[in-house]
Amino acid sequence: MEYGIKLEIFEGPMDLLLHLIQKNDLDIYDIPISKITSEYLAYLNLMKEMNLEVAGDFLIMAATLMRIKSKMLLPVYGDEEDEELDDPRDEITKRLLEYKKFKEASKVLKTNLEKQKDVFFRKTQPEFTDEDFGVDVSLFDLMDAFRKVLEKAKESSKEIIKEEFTIEEKIRIILSLLECKKFVSFYSIFLKDESKYSVIVTFLALLELIKIGQIYVRQNAAFSEIRIYKKRV
C-alpha cells in the first residue's frame, strides 16, 4: 500500500545493529547472530511496510548477517575441533567496534562545537531546559515505539481508508499539538482506536517533520519516554 510519500532512511545498517545490541543488552564480542539477524530482518520488513526507502547498504548487511549465520550452522569435522577456528562473527564485530568508536568521537566533537557556539554567541547565561539534558533518539528508537502502537491498531476496511487523514493533514495536526505546549509525548500524537493505515501515516508525518527540521525528539534517558519538541526560531 502506498502512503503518498517516500522517505530516505537517515541512519544506516550499523546504527541498527548497535541499536539492537544496546536494546537487548548483548555482548558485542559474543553476538547471538541468529537472534540479531531475525530482529534485523523484522526492522527491514517494517520499513518496507511503511514505504520507507531502504538503501542498498541495509540489504547488503542483511546478506552478510545471513551468510555469517549459515557459517555458524556448519558442523565441525575431525581435526578441525582441535584447531583454533576463526569465528565467523569476527568480521561484523570488528566493523561494529570501529563504527561505535567513530560515533562516540563524532558525539564528543558535536558537544564541543555546541559549547564553543555558546561561548561565542551567547552574551547572557544560558537558560537550560529539560531537553538540554536529554539523549538523542534514533530512528530505531522511534520504530520500537511505533511498533507498539501498530500492534494495538485496528485493520482498516476499504471504506474507512477513503476517509483517513493524509500525511500533510497529519503534519498540520502534530504541529498544532505543539503550538501551546513545550513538548508532547510520542504516544499522544496517535488517536485512540486508530486504524493501522492511520497509525502509519501519522508516523510518516512525524519522520517528515524531523527530516525537514521542524521538530526534534529527545529522551531523558535511554529507552525512556520519547518527547517531541517543535524547533523554535
**What CATH number has the domain bearing residue 201?**
1.10.10.580
Q: What is the pLDDT of residue 157?
A: 43
Q: Residue 203, class by beta-carbon neighbours within 10 Å (0-12 exposed, 13-18 middle, 19+ buried)? A: buried
**Cα distance between residue 49 and residue 52, in whole Å:** 8
Q: What is the pLDDT of residue 168?
A: 93
* Same domain assignment for residues 117 and 158: no
Residue 159 structural domain: 131-233
- What is the amino acid identity at position 87? D
- What is the amino acid identity at position 106? S
Q: How many CB atoms lie within 10 A of CB 21?
A: 17
Q: What is the pLDDT of residue 159?
A: 44
* Same domain assignment for residues 155 and 99: no
* Same domain assignment for residues 28 and 120: yes
Q: What is the pLDDT of residue 222?
A: 76
Q: Low-confidence residues of the chain, pLDDT below 70?
A: 1-10, 76-85, 114, 117-135, 154-163, 233
* Same domain assignment for residues 157 and 85: no
- DSSP SS3 for 66: helix
CB distance 91 to 68 below 8 Å = yes
Q: What is the pLDDT of residue 156?
A: 53
Q: What is the pLDDT of residue 55?
A: 80
* Same domain assignment for residues 161 and 79: no
Q: What is the pLDDT of residue 124?
A: 47
For the whole model, what pTM was predicted? 0.77
- Selection from 144, 152, 170, 167 nearest residue 226 by Cα: 144
Residue holding cell 520507507? 52
Task: Choose the final residue of a domain: 78, 108, 127.
Answer: 127
* Same domain assignment for residues 230 and 161: yes
How many domains does the structure of the chain reveal? 2
